[in-house]
Amino acid sequence: DAKTTQPNSMESNEEEPVHLPCNHSTISGTDYIHWYRQLPSQGPEYVIHGLTSNVNNRMASLAIAEDRKSSTLILHRATLRDAAVYYCIPKPPGAGSYQLTFGKGTKLSVIP
Amino acid sequence: GAGVSQSPSNKVTEKGKDVELRCDPISGHTALYWYRQSLGQGLEFLIYFQGNSAPDKSGLPSDRFSAERTGGSVSTLTIQRTQQEDSAVYLCASSLQPGGEQYFGPGTRLTVT
Per-residue pLDDT tens over the stretch B70-111: 887 999 999 999 999 999 999 999 999 888 899 999 999 999
With CB atoms and an 8 Å threshold, state whether A104 touches B33: no
Type and span of the H or E element at B90 = strand B88-95
With CB atoms and an 8 Å threshold, state whether B107 touches A95: no
- Would you list which residues of chain A are within 8 Å, Cβ to Cβ, of chain B? 36, 41-46, 49, 91, 93-105
The sheet that has A61-64: what strands, in order across it? A18-23, A70-75, A61-64, A55-56
Residue A72: phi and psi, rounded to 5, are: -135, 125
With CB atoms and an 8 Å threshold, state whether A98 touches B106: no
Evaluate whether A4 touches A20 at the Cβ level (below 8 Å).
Answer: no
pLDDT of residue A98: 86
Task: Express each pLDDT in A18-65 by its tens digit.
Answer: 999 999 999 988 999 999 999 999 999 999 999 998 999 999 999 999
pLDDT of residue B110: 98
Evaluate whether A88 touches A70 at the Cβ level (below 8 Å).
Answer: no
* CA distance linking residue B83 with residue B111, whole number of Å: 10
Average pLDDT score over residue span A11-17: 96
> Confidence band (pLDDT; 50, 70, 90) for A11?
very high
**B40 contact A CB<8A:** no
- Residue B49: closest CA among chain A residues belongs to which residue? A98
DSSP B100: S
DSSP B26: P
